[in-house]
């Protein structure tokens, strides 16, 4: 495949409806050195026939099986030659000039590995969207949140987070990343399948000495899923992958107390589901914990070496980390805004 400065890669799985709606916006992109690729992740709908008929000039990569977000992108990006990759969800409406600010930002500093645009809600454009808002943060116990979104509460966008600033993680809904850095890290962790794999990738980039930035001069609109449904595979993957991410990236001095603390907090959340009559939520968390214990036990007995960067930084030294607990502030003190939780000196 011919080289380009920017490769916009949309991973598709049975997403004909989104392709019909949102591809026309992507095709209006004004940045001239960008190439669009659709990577089909084993779709069983008529996505491919639609693309072949309606957009015969768009490059399509095809595989027979769905290997999830992580496996799908690792496969597709291994076949693409570009300076920068854009991992773009199929349900994102972009503006014509959305790429220029992000290209300019990464061009300005080789130490910036990745960035994300400001993500607003497609259904309610005056508000931030759940998946990333204006840049991802994480608290001391590993709970992710965003500038503009705390748990299920999305703020109205009044320009309060319009500064390009260091963040902990950039959303996989619209992730702009230096291809060199993606490959250096070995890509996304395919064992995650889906959910929080981009946070893990960004954490590894921080440990390797790179920066992640928000780029709110670029604005996109995401349909997204909003709040995850209670119970089911999504909840299982989120709880499992979050613990696996902590196990991979925390230094041993933090790992020894944060993992037990997280198991306890997860258990409280699970039992809360029981008291509310939501047994599927309880079961999903129990299943996640059992899976994590099985994975870690297997790694211990096989003495498997973990790939990637061996240096693991203390969380408090990484930009985009809140050194307190958002659980406490959100549920106990009812603080629902990023600006309420992050003081000026910490932001």
Q: How do beta strands 321-322 and 112-121 pair?
A: unpaired
Q: How far is residue 274 from each of residues 29, 233, 284, measured CA to CA in Å?
A: 48, 18, 12
Is the torsion defined by CA of 269, 274, 277, 280 positive or negative?
positive
Backbone angles phi, psi at 343, to 5 degrees: -70, 160
Q: What is the distance between the alpha carbons of residues 298 and 194, in angstroms, rounded to a whole number?
A: 21
Q: What is the distance between the alpha carbons of residues 196 and 239, in angstroms, rounded to a whole number?
A: 10
Q: Are 92 and 55 in contact (CB under 8 A)?
A: no
pLDDT at site 309 = 53
Say what percent of the chain tops pLDDT 90.
87
Backbone angles phi, psi at 124, to 5 degrees: -135, 80
pLDDT of 195 > 60? The answer is: yes
pLDDT of 226 > 70? The answer is: no
Overall average pLDDT of the 91-111 stretch: 98
Task: Identify the weakest region by mean pLDDT among 65-79, 123-137, 200-214, 331-345.
Answer: 331-345
pLDDT of 68 > 50? The answer is: yes
> Which pLDDT band holds residue 310 (cuts at 50, 70, 90)?
low
Q: What is the distance between the alpha carbons of residues 282 and 158, in angstroms, rounded to a whole number?
A: 37
* Average pLDDT across the chain, whole number: 93
Overall average pLDDT of the 305-329 stretch: 84
Tens digits of residue pLDDT in 252-267: 999 999 999 999 999 9
pLDDT of 342 > 90? The answer is: no
pTM of the model: 0.94
CATH architecture of 1-90: Alpha-Beta Complex (3.90)
pLDDT at site 2 = 66
The helix/strand/coil state of 245 is: helix
pLDDT at site 131 = 94
pLDDT at site 273 = 87
pLDDT at site 88 = 98
Tens digits of residue pLDDT in 4-31: 899 999 999 999 999 999 999 999 999 9
> Which pLDDT band holds residue 337 (cuts at 50, 70, 90)?
very high
Q: Nearest-CA neighbor of 248 among 257, 259, 238, 239?
A: 259
Q: How do beta strands 153-154 and 149-150 pair?
A: antiparallel
Q: Nearest-CA neighbor of 313 among 248, 251, 244, 243?
A: 251
> Which pLDDT band holds residue 225 (cuts at 50, 70, 90)?
low
pLDDT at site 300 = 80
């Amino acid at each position: 495949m011919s080289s380009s400065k920017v490769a916009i890669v949309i991973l598709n799985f049975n997403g004909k409806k989104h392709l019909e709606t949102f591809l026309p916006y992507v095709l209006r992109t004004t940045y001239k050195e960008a190439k669009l690729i659709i990577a089909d992740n084993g779709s069983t709908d008529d996505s491919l026939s639609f693309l072949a008929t309606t957009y015969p000039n768009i490059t399509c990569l095809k595989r027979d099986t769905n290997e999830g977000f992580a496996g799908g992108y690792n496969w597709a990006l291994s076949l693409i030659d570009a300076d920068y990759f854009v991992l773009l969800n199929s349900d994102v409406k972009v503006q014509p000039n959305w790429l220029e600010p992000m290209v300019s930002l990464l061009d300005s500093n080789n130490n910036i590995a990745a960035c994300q645009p400001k993500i607003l809600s497609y259904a309610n454009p005056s508000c931030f969207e759940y998946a990333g808002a204006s840049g991802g943060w994480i608290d001391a116990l590993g709970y992710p949140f965003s500038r503009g979104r705390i748990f299920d509460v999305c703020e109205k966008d009044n320009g309060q987070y319009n500064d390009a600033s260091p963040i902990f993680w950039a959303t996989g809904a619209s992730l702009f990343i230096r291809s060199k850095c993606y490959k250096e890290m070995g890509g996304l962790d395919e064992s995650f399948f889906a959910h929080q794999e981009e946070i893990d990738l960004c954490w590894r980039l921080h440990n390797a000495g790179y920066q992640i930035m928000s780029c709110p001069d670029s604005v996109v609109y995401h349909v997204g899923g909003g709040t995850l449904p209670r119970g089911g595979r999504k909840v299982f993957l989120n709880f499992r992958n979050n613990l696996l991410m902590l196990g991979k990236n925390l230094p041993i001095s933090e790992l020894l107390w944060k993992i037990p603390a997280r198991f306890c907090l997860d258990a409280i959340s699970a039992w809360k589901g029981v008291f509310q009559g939501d047994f599927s939520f309880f079961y999903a968390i129990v299943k996640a914990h059992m899976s994590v214990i099985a994975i870690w036990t297997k790694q211990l007995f096989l003495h498997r070496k973990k790939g990637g960067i061996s240096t693991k930084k203390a969380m408090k030294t990484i930009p985009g980390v809140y050194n307190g607990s958002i659980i406490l502030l959100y549920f106990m003190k009812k603080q629902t805004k990023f600006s309420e939780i992050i003081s000026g000196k910490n932001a």
